[in-house]
Structure 1
Amino acid sequence: MKKFIINGILGLLLVYLFDLGVGKVLEYYYFKQESGFQHRTTISMEETEADMLVFGSSRANHHYYPDVFINGLNKTFYNTGRDGNFIFYQTAVLKSVLQRYKPKLILYDFSGKFCYVQEDYDRMSSLLPYYRKHLEIRDIVNLRSSFEPIKNFSSIYPYNSTLANIVIGNRNLGKKGTKGYVSLTGEWNEPLKEHKSIEKYEVDEKKLAIFNEFLNLCKQNDIPLVVCVSPVFYTYDKDYSITLCKQVCNEKNIPFYDFTKDERFLKSSQLFDDKEHLNDSGAKLYSKITLNIIREQLGMSKKD
């Protein structure tokens, strides 16, 4: 029995050392990346001190052309948008930013749904490499499951699904972007189609609370905030997610603009890379439009 116990302890020690060693190697190369979306997340959470920040998912990442805002506002700029990451990710990034400095302006590009979607919780894996260092995001990441604090004792766990992208980022093969913005260059050739309306649904209260937390953090820190829903190339009658977002913003006196039914874009498929995303030309036009909105909100004169 004594030998069994000793062997068990040695086995656990070897497992611990293996986990620690491999985890430290993965951590080193993860944060050594110089390109790709993981590198841009690190810049967003740990490095940028830009005056103006854009938050959102892929539609944020591809829709806001930096030079328009830099030249039009005379402010530094960074786009924190990340493909496939929604309300949880955006609020976690903001909380990390506020640990370092206070931006002068935030533009939030709203997309996603307030209903329960398991995938939205799963995608918080993008935040796991920052879990140990960034105590401020743990309450959000722990929403994935009640076992998250235990899982994060492992040094390998945060990097489970990142190996391929770590290699790409370290070989400088990932997209670098410009101030976080990544351009799309395709041109959508499909005709305008009607999408099914999104009717009222049961709200995921956790999502709604985290969205409210984002808005409240801006309010508490006196950061001017504008919320936009950027253009799409399809028509629809109702979208409860957008309706609810607008309602929450109105209750908090936060400027809200919905461009999903804007004829300037619905008549111009050549401005889109696909039905959900503007291409580089579309991003430049849309950025000029949102620039005028921001200048108006800040009490500045409009530009053409």
Structure 2
Amino acid sequence: YFKQQSGYDYLTTYAIEKTKTSILILGSSRAKNIYNTTIFENQTGLTCFNTGRDGEPIFYHYAILQAALKRYTPKIVILSFDAGNFSKNTDAYDKISALLPFYKTHPEIRSIIALKSPYEKLKLLSHIYPYNSLLLQIIAGNQEYNKEKYITRKGFVPLDNFFSGPLKIFDYTKEKDLDSIKINTYKSFIQNCINHKVELYIICPPYMINPIGIDHSILEGKKIAQQYNIPYLDYSRDTSFTNNQLLFADFRHLNVHGVELLSNNVINKIGKRIK
């Protein structure tokens, strides 16, 4: 597992145990596929690494932050925010399994892993449990053919295709109940950045959808960020993106053209604060 040189698990290990870049980007696939590390490095003159991993919730991002802060203090942290981040669902807790291999060696993230279930501490007495169902993934991660891709892109994985529609209808008015544990983890994420004097930016990339109402997680995330005086850049309905379907790979992800536009837009907005 820890000898992998490519794949999601390799990037998780690298983020937790190795990266020391000045800019650290955290989030789901909407971080991995949207924030171009090369653009950030070229425009700011600062090193950058993208820790985005498909489908991962705030628990994963907070664990990565905790592990990174134990080793060093990044200059800037960008947290990519998604609609539904605080929704009540069990999938977010199941996805904590990506962190299981680090339980024994990283006490700073054990409290997050414990959220997976009341029995995690007992299950983790087994040396095999953290690696259940990972055999094929580990074999693939130890192959040489795509090793270079993961190293040179520094976590960023571009999407080249174009979204062809049709637009999906999302009725946000039906999802009002929010998960207090996720909200408290989000608050802890913000507070830890403040405590370590890290410049934090919370950014919600655009969606190519037909929305009804406003996502309650986005509203809550913005409100909390404002309470802590943290910049929150909400592009979720920004018409400079949503009026141009050719900027999207699918309804959730920008393609390389949209990525360039967003990355430069973000850098222009935060540029004065980081000089």
| TM-score normalised by the chain length of structure 1 | 0.85
Partner of 2:47: 76
Aligned to 1:245: 221
Q: Which residue type is aligned with residue 86 of structure 1?
A: P
Deviations 1:233-273 (A, max 9, x none): 11323110100000100110000111011111112211111
- The alpha-carbon deviation at position 173 of structure 1 amounts to 5.0
1:58 alignment partner in structure 2: 29
Matched-pair contact (CA < 8 Å) for 2:87–2:175: no
SS across alignment from 2:172: coil
In the TM superposition, residue 199 of structure 1 has moved relative to its aligned partner by 4.7
Counterpart of 1:103 in structure 2 is: 74
Which AA in structure 2 matches 1:121?
Y
Q: Which amino acid aligns with 2:78?
A: L
Residue number in structure 2 paired with 1:294: 270
In 2, the alpha carbon distance for the partners of 1:123 and 1:197 equals: 23
Give the letter for the 2:180 counterpart.
E
CA distance in 1, matches of 2:102, 2:145: 23
Q: State the distance in 1 between where 2:173 and 2:217 align.
A: 8
Calculate the aligned-residue CA RMSD, in Å. Answer: 1.4
Structure-1 separation of matches of 2:11 and 2:86 = 26
Query: Greater Rg, structure 1 or structure 2?
Result: 1
Amino acid at match of 1:232: Y
1:201 to 176, 185, 188: 176
Counterpart secondary structure, 2:170: coil
Q: Does 1:138 align with 2:106?
A: no
Deviation digits for residues 146-194 of structure 1 (CA, Å, limit 9, x no counterpart):
1101111111100002111101101135562601111111111114454
1:198–1:238 Cα contact (<8 Å) kept: yes
Report matched runs for 1:1-304 at 5 Å: 30-111=1-82, 112-173=84-145, 176=150, 178-199=153-174, 201-236=176-211, 237-298=213-274, 300=275
Amino acid at match of 1:176: Y
Q: What is the distance in 1 between the residues matched to 2:137 and 2:49?
A: 22
Match of 1:24 in 2: none
Contact 1:192 1:266 in 2 (8 A): no
In 2, Cα distance between equivalents of 1:293 and 1:50: 20
Identity score, percent: 37
List structure 1 runs of 4+ shifted beyond 6 angstroms: none
- Distance of 1:170 and 1:185 partners within structure 2: 26
Q: Which moved more, 1:197-206 or 1:263-272?
A: 197-206
Deviations 1:190-234 (Å, cap 9, x if unpaired)?
144542124562322111111111000000000001101001111
Q: Give 1:17's aligned residue.
A: none
Measured at CA, do residues 200 and 119 of structure 1 come closer, stay the same or move farther in structure 2, by a change above 3 Å? closer
Shift of 1:67: 1.8
Inter-partner Cα distance in structure 1 for 2:50 and 2:210: 27
- Whichever residue aligns with residue 233 of structure 1, its letter is M
Q: Which is further off, 201-210 or 256-265?
A: 201-210
CA distance, structure 1, for counterparts of residue 178 and residue 171 of structure 2: 19
**Normalization by structure 2: what TM-score?**
0.94
Residue by residue over 1:76-131, the C-alpha shift from the partner in whole angstroms, topping out at 9 and shown as x without a partner, is 00001111101000000100001100000011101143132111000100000111
Unaligned runs of 5+ residues in structure 1 are 1-29
Mapped to 2, the partners of 1:40 and 1:75 lie a distance apart of 20
